[in-house]
Amino acid sequence: MNSIFKRNNVRVLGTGSRYIVFAHGFGCDQNVWSAIQNDFVDDYKLVLFDYVGSGKSDLSAYDPDRYSTLEGYAQDILEICGALEIQQTYFVGHSVSSMIGIIAANRRPGLFQKMVFLGPSPRYLNDVGYIGGFEKEDLNGLLDMIDSNYLGWSRAMAPLIMGNPQSPELGSQLSDNFCATDPEVAKNFARATFLSDYRAELEHLKVESLILQCSEDIIAPLSVGQYMHDNIERNKLIILKATGHCSHMSAPRETVREIKAFL
């Protein structure tokens, strides 16, 4: 049990009787929830953690085979819940963690009561009849830059991903998160994220869920949110006024309001 807590730098905050697992996105760590976590601590127990290679996780626990696909990260979430003896929980996942959460829920039905997905995407590549937002050459260029100069990619892309140029400090905060992630882990996680296709998982999700889609998002366009909504049972789609890919950081009040209304 302690090894799992150390591996993922698990922290539990709050005094409520119900749990919420908060799962951060690619290149980030649990600190990205700081703008919204205090809104939940009185009513819930918050489970915060870092994926291996991020934040203050135990880098020695990194297994490139295990984490070559999103299933390895989903197993981490299930093991964290097991170590905490959680029988039922709410789940809030950002970006790639939305699909990681769906995989976890499909592997262990009954664990999750409700799920919230911020800027999710089951496939980033465009396909016949599907607009994921990226052509193959775009993703290849992105991955090449991550491979050759991850820190440079982080500084260049963070402001674009954040998408709020009027608040440059938010882009800097995201860049600092990216730069704190182990570069080798980031390279492998990027491939597991951006080259994956988990559209087939959507129809198997039976948990009631909410998609919070930003109105302008270069990572997860509106077409992706609509596709997921159309292919998941018991799903609600809300288009936020917020722009960018990180509404929990750039528009915390709007994000909190919608999550609380859903839960």
Q: Let me know: does 194 contact 114? Beta carbons within 8 Å.
A: no
Q: Is 54 helix (H, G, I), strand (E, B) or coil?
A: coil
Task: Tell me, yes or no, if 24 is annotated catalytic.
Answer: no
Would you report the helix, strand and coil content of the chain in percent, each value rounded to 5? 45, 20, 35
Known catalytic residue at 29: no
Q: Is 95 a catalytic residue?
A: yes
Q: State the catalytic residue, choosing from 54, 95, 196, 209.
A: 95
Most distant pair of Cα atoms in the chain: their distance: 48
By the 8 A CB rule, do 68 and 77 touch?
A: no
Active-site pick, 29, 50, 76, 217: 217
Catalytic site residue from 94, 245, 247, 250: 245
Within its chain, how far is the Cα of 166 from the centroid?
Answer: 24
Neighbours of 244 (CB within 10 A): 27
Q: Write out the catalytic residue numbers.
A: 95, 217, 245
